[in-house]
Amino acid sequence: MSKISDIGLMVPINNTTMEPELARLLPDLGALTTLRIPRDAGLLTSQTIGPYKLRALDLAKDQIASGIDDLAYGCTAASFLSGPQADAAFADELSSVIGKPVVTTARAMVLALQAAQARKIAVVTPYQDSVNTQLAAFLEAGGIDVLVLNSFRAATVQELGQITSAQVDALARSTMTNDCDAMLIACSQLPTIDLLQSLQESFGRPVFSSIQSTAWQVGKVLDAINAGTAA
């Protein structure tokens, strides 16, 4: 990024991980404005995603800072549950509301994996099986096959928020297999920033997280804005 840029971040109201990790991954940013989307106590599902997105749009209309250069929609499951086309349409809708580019975490994960030429991956998530199935379908639509997936299968938002970095590290190490090109740790609530380098060194292959992928794509968008080109 050739100039100091300000970004907005939208996350579920319970998310305590993405804001500090994104700030560490993008140290040259100016202001980071975080908007927290109200949600029900249960985890997001295909049935609850519609009302959740409407709350996100209302929040963007009412509170988004006019001076931001880009918005990161950091709700991983909310990005992939409805599929790639719906995710792209929602990003366009958010962008129209705020008049700025929008990066969604699910799309950023696919782009990061594609850039690394990862086609067969291992995945770690906190999700229930029905959500994991939707994640695998989203990745496969981008030409990425999920060879192995392990999950904490958190039953509640509270349970999800209690997963530690040590637990993520242990599950990741027990999940990776020799026939995988890379690993993805999906969910912007899981703490990963202090694990990625160690895991990559142990595996000898790339390891991506939802937050790291989002930061990478936000950086690309801001570089394109600064260069005066389309992202």
Enumerate domains of the chain plus CATH numbers: 7-106+212-227 (3.40.50.1860), 108-210 (3.40.50.12500)
pLDDT value of residue 229: 58
Q: Is the dihedral of CA 83, 88, 93, 94 positive or negative?
A: positive
pLDDT value of residue 3: 58
pLDDT value of residue 183: 98
Structure tokens at 118: 């990862």
Q: How many other C-beta atoms can be found within 10 angstroms of the C-beta atom of residue 164?
A: 10
Mean pLDDT by 10 residues, the chain (231 residues): 76 94 92 87 76 88 75 93 95 92 97 98 96 97 98 93 97 98 97 98 98 97 80 48
Instruction: Kindly give, in sequence order, each residue whose CB lies less than 8 Å from that of residue 202, ignoring residues fewer than 6 positions away.
Output: 173
pLDDT value of residue 1: 43
Distance CA 193, CA 104 (A): 19
| DSSP alpha helix (H) spans, the chain | 18-25, 49-63, 76-80, 84-98, 105-115, 129-141, 157-161, 165-175, 196-203, 210-227
pLDDT value of residue 134: 96
pLDDT value of residue 52: 87
pLDDT value of residue 45: 76
pTM: 0.92
